[in-house]
Amino acid sequence: MSIIQQHTASSLSDAWRTINIDALDPDSSQNFDTSTLHPPLPEASEADVRALNGQVRQLLRGGDSEGALRGCLENPIYNGSEVAKDAHLQTVIEVLQSIKASEMTPMLQRIYDSNGGSELVDVLMKYLYKGMAGGSASSGGLRTPTRNLTPQATGFSQIGNRPGSTNESTGAGMSVLLSWHEKVVDVAGLGSIQRCMTDWRKV
Amino acid sequence: MASPEVHHLFHRPIADHSFSADRQTLAVAKDTSVELYGKAGNAFKLKDELKGHDKTVTGVDIAPQSGRIVTCSQDRNALVWEPSPTGYKPTLVLLRIARAATFVRWSPSETKFAVGSGDRVIAICYFEEENDWWVSKHLKKPIRSTITTVNWHPNSVLLAAGSTDAHARVFSSFIKGVDARPEPSVWGERLPFNTVCGEYLNNSAGWVHSVAFSPSGNALAFAAHDSSITVVYPSGPEQPPQAVVSVSTQLLPFMSMVWNGEDEIIAAGYDCEAFRFQGNASGWQLTGTLEAKGRPGLSGDAREESALNMFKQMDLKGKVKDDTQLKTVHQNTITTLRVYEGRNGSVSKFSTSGVDGRVVVWST
């Protein structure tokens, strides 16, 4: 007797190939909360973020842009609501926009060379990527619809909101982020991009 | 520094390589087989091929004393190849894993070996005399993901393992009747099987690619996918470590590393060259590359450039210089770095192999 005779219609179909066997295994990583692998992060409320942003703006008004940049990079919002995270991103971008192009590299170098500075530059890299991913880098907390626009099949998602004036400010914000990105890679190397990708602490 | 000895074996990735103790034989994992190269003059010539796996071979290790070769593969098996006058005889090892085997290393005592796997277990394999076969015991807890690498402590009981759950762990693999009771150390005194002696994670927590005990066994280093190297100095059982030093580099991640004495680590990876780290419990730093920059003999430098050739190149490629070659000896990622020659924990020569099919012997 060959075992082939025991085949039924259901075993001959390909449906069993799509069974997710990980879901049936109690030990599998799918049935496991991966966040328990890391020590918990302190939670930041929206009020904390507002207070911090107030301090950063004050430093910025006082002309201490390096202090302002350090201030927001030393307190990244890892564990908080999306609103709090976005608010902090806006502050970081505001600070970045206020710094002149000629000051970028010396300032980054000073931060990188200071104690624990490479960590701060890695945080900056995370905010740069978050800013670029969001697509809306315009200041003043104005949310452009670009953010939730799904890209068209053609890939020309920008065309949809061409008539709006927001597009230009988005482009300007993006060019600031891109030039910062270039400077950060010059100072902290490709390693900072690596850490930005591997890190489980998302901003 | 003597110039490195380069052996370009083939145009395929080398998953792992291992030299025999007399350095006359080189075993290389290539696709589904293991190729044995014998030293002939200054070159390595293909001597034998070990065929037994039917999926990609992921690890190969030659035991220095007995000459046995252990291999593991994505077909979920490990084979022990016993040298005999008529060639190598394979013996299948019962690993009892449902996913690929990823990494294999003999213990220093050569009575056991450890196989890492995608099944979230490490199989510790030893030979059972009465049944005349290799059996395995599983280190299971608290591994949450694929084991990418293992490294043995000099006492052959403690085993470090790196995993894609971003943790480097130290386990006891004590097997009654095989191991002698180990001396108490900073990792612990009583060490029954599967004791977790340490579990470490660095800040940005990438996949761990490589783990290594220092020559004394009293410190552990691991390299992760966040381009960092972390060195842990434990202070005693059940106590927090006395120092955890992490170096975040500007480079691409490291895939493999070895200790050279207690205060130097040599690591290599996606940058296609080896780097030197120096330090101690109070701090570590990257001190430079082991690649001699601007070596003569890089192809393209010595070629005579005629005007005709120049215009020909511009016409064909749109540029004059051929810049398709990296300035490093390895032309692709280095995946394995091993001690080639050394004594008492200090390394005088080491070997690297990588995706470019080269095996290179370097002096430190």
Is the pLDDT assigned to residue A5 strictly greater than 70?
no
- Min Cα–Cα distance to chain B from A32, Å: 9
Average pLDDT over residues B288-295: 77
- Min Cα–Cα distance to chain A from B260, Å: 24
Instruction: Provide the β-strand partners of residue B38.
Output: B25, B45
Instruction: Provide the β-strand partners of residue B359.
Output: B7, B353
Is residue A152 very low, low, confident or very high in pLDDT (cuts 50, 70, 90)?
Answer: very low
Q: Which residues of B touch A191 (CB under 8 A)?
A: 226-228, 248-252
Using the Cβ of B228 and the Cβ atoms of chain A, whether some distance falls under 8 Å is answered with: yes
C-alpha B252/C-alpha B51 separation (Å) is 35
Is the pLDDT assigned to residue A142 strictly greater than 50?
no
Is residue A146 very low, low, confident or very high in pLDDT (cuts 50, 70, 90)?
Answer: very low
Structure tokens at A38: 């890391």
In contact, B217 and B158? CB cutoff 8 Å: yes
pLDDT, tens only, B45-69 = 999 999 999 999 999 999 999 999 9
pLDDT, tens only, B295-330 = 544 444 445 567 777 787 788 777 766 678 888 999
Q: Which of B201, B206, B249 lies closest to A198 in CB terms? A: B206
Is residue B178 very low, low, confident or very high in pLDDT (cuts 50, 70, 90)?
Answer: very high
HSE toward the beta carbon, residue B129, CA cutoff 13 A: 3
Which residue in A33, A198, A201 has the most chain B C-beta atoms within 10 A of its own C-beta, making it the best mutation to test that interface?
A: A198
Instruction: Report the candidate in B125, B119, B95 with the shortest Cα–Cα distance to residue B107.
Output: B125
Percent of chain B with pLDDT over 90: 83
Q: Which of B225, B249, B250 lies closest to A198 in CB terms? A: B225
Of A62-76, A88-102, A169-183, B182-196, which range is least confident?
Answer: A169-183
Count the neighbouring beta carbons within 10 Å of the beta carbon of residue A35: 9
In contact, B178 and B111? CB cutoff 8 Å: yes
Q: Test A27 with B248 for CB contact under 8 angstroms.
A: no
3-class DSSP assignment, residue B248: strand
Q: Which residues of B touch A195 (CB under 8 A)?
A: 204, 206, 226-228, 248
The more confidently predicted of residues A127 and B141 is A127
Domain boundaries, chain B: 18-258
pLDDT, tens only, B340-352 = 999 989 999 999 9
Is the pLDDT assigned to residue A144 strictly greater than 60?
no
Q: Test A195 with B206 for CB contact under 8 angstroms.
A: yes
In this prediction, residue A145 carries a pLDDT of: 40
Q: Test B251 with A119 for CB contact under 8 angstroms.
A: no
Is residue A159 very low, low, confident or very high in pLDDT (cuts 50, 70, 90)?
Answer: very low
Q: Test B248 with A34 for CB contact under 8 angstroms.
A: no
In this prediction, residue B2 carries a pLDDT of: 75
Of A21-30, B164-173, B295-304, which range is least confident?
Answer: B295-304
Q: Test B166 with A29 for CB contact under 8 angstroms.
A: no
C-alpha B147/C-alpha B51 separation (Å) is 25
Count the neighbouring beta carbons within 10 Å of the beta carbon of residue A14: 6
CA dist list (Å): A139 to A75, A157, B8, B47, B77 = 20, 21, 56, 68, 58
In this prediction, residue A200 carries a pLDDT of: 86
At which residue do the structure tokens 């806006």 appear?
Answer: A90
In this prediction, residue B308 carries a pLDDT of: 79
Average pLDDT, rounded, for chain B: 92
Concatenated DSSP letters of B255-323: EEEEESSSSEEEEEETTSSEEEEEEETTEEEEEEESS-TT-TT-TTTSS---HHHHHHHHHHHSSSS--
Of A114-128, A157-171, B132-146, B226-240, which range is least confident?
Answer: A157-171
The more confidently predicted of residues B241 and B298 is B241
Concatenated DSSP letters of B314-343: HHHHSSSS---S-SSSSSS-EEEEEEEEEE
CA quadruple B344, B350, B353, B354: dihedral positive or negative?
Answer: positive
At which residue do the structure tokens 């890695």 appear?
Answer: A122
Q: Which residues of A touch B249 (CB under 8 A)?
A: 189, 191
Is the pLDDT assigned to residue B8 strictly greater than 80?
yes
- Min Cα–Cα distance to chain A from B74, Å: 19
C-alpha B268/C-alpha B254 separation (Å) is 5
Is residue B186 very low, low, confident or very high in pLDDT (cuts 50, 70, 90)?
Answer: very high
Q: Which residues of A touch B98 (CB under 8 A)?
A: none
In this prediction, residue B295 carries a pLDDT of: 54
Is residue A30 very low, low, confident or very high in pLDDT (cuts 50, 70, 90)?
Answer: confident
Q: Which residues of A touch B250 (CB under 8 A)?
A: 188-192
Is the pLDDT assigned to residue A29 strictly greater than 80?
no
pLDDT, tens only, A67-123 = 999 999 999 999 889 999 999 999 999 999 999 999 999 999 999 999 889 999 999
In this prediction, residue A18 carries a pLDDT of: 87
Count the neighbouring beta carbons within 10 Å of the beta carbon of residue B360: 23
Q: Which of A27, A190, A198 lies closest to B204 in CB terms? A: A198
C-alpha B111/C-alpha B151 separation (Å) is 15
In this prediction, residue A139 carries a pLDDT of: 43
CA dist list (Å): A1 to A6, B198, B229 = 9, 54, 59
Is the pLDDT assigned to residue B362 strictly greater than 80?
yes
Using the Cβ of B91 and the Cβ atoms of chain A, whether some distance falls under 8 Å is answered with: no
Average pLDDT over residues B182-200: 93
C-alpha B105/C-alpha B355 separation (Å) is 20
State yes or no: ipTM above 0.95.
no
C-alpha B6/C-alpha B138 separation (Å) is 39
Q: Test A119 with B225 for CB contact under 8 angstroms.
A: no
Q: Which residues of A touch B164 (CB under 8 A)?
A: none
In this prediction, residue B202 carries a pLDDT of: 86
In this prediction, residue A190 carries a pLDDT of: 95
The predicted model scores a pTM of: 0.85
Domain B18-258: which CATH number of 2.130.10.10, 3.40.50.2000, 3.30.465.10, 3.20.20.70: 2.130.10.10
In this prediction, residue B358 carries a pLDDT of: 96
Q: Test B206 with A191 for CB contact under 8 angstroms.
A: no
In this prediction, residue B223 carries a pLDDT of: 97
pLDDT, tens only, B271-282 = 999 999 999 999
pLDDT, tens only, B96-121 = 999 999 999 999 999 999 999 999 99
In this prediction, residue A165 carries a pLDDT of: 47
Q: For B165, which residue in chain A has the nearest alpha carbon?
A: A37
Which residue in B99, B249, B272, B289 has the most chain A C-beta atoms within 10 A of its own C-beta, making it the best mutation to test that interface?
A: B249
Q: Which residues of A touch B224 (CB under 8 A)?
A: 198
Non-local (6+) Cβ contacts of B42 within 8 A are: B5
